[in-house]
Amino acid sequence: MHAHFGEELNLVMLANVAGMSRAYFVRLFAKHMNQTPHSYLTDIRVRAARKMLHEGQDPMGVAIECGFFDQSHLNRHFKRRIGTTPGAYKNMHAH
């Protein structure tokens, strides 16, 4: 997930890589990681977006590069996890 966070990943693909059924993969993942695969992937994407914004990259480009559908999709998840919008974060932290 870390190496391919910007790509479209779905549960069937992840379960196949792990050699498990989708349902078993979700249960085992949630048991060991204390969150669903989707939530974990979103966390990876938001952390990557935060790093890119800190480097001064544009939120729209960051959204696409990090695997979000569009900038509003990034905005929703970023604000929920970081507490501010990507644009405001970029303005506060970019060098």
Map out the domains of the chain as residue ranges.
Answer: 11-93
How high is the pLDDT of residue 32?
96
> What local confidence, expressed as pLDDT, does residue 95 receive?
60
- pLDDT tens digits in sequence order for the chain, 95 residues long: 999 999 999 999 999 999 999 999 999 999 999 999 999 999 999 999 999 999 999 999 999 999 999 999 999 999 999 999 999 999 988 66
Max Cα–Cα distance, the chain, nearest Å:
45
Contacts 24+ apart (CB under 8 A), 33-39: 37/1, 37/11, 38/11
CATH 2.40.70.10 fits 11-93, yes or no: no
Q: What is the pTM of this model?
A: 0.90
Q: What is the rounded distance in angstroms from the CA atom of residue 52 to the CA atom of residue 12?
A: 29
**CB 77, CB 59: distance < 8 Å:** no
- Cα 4 to Cα 28: distance, rounded to the nearest angstrom: 21
pLDDT at 85: 95
Measured distance CA(6)–CA(67) in Å, rounded: 4
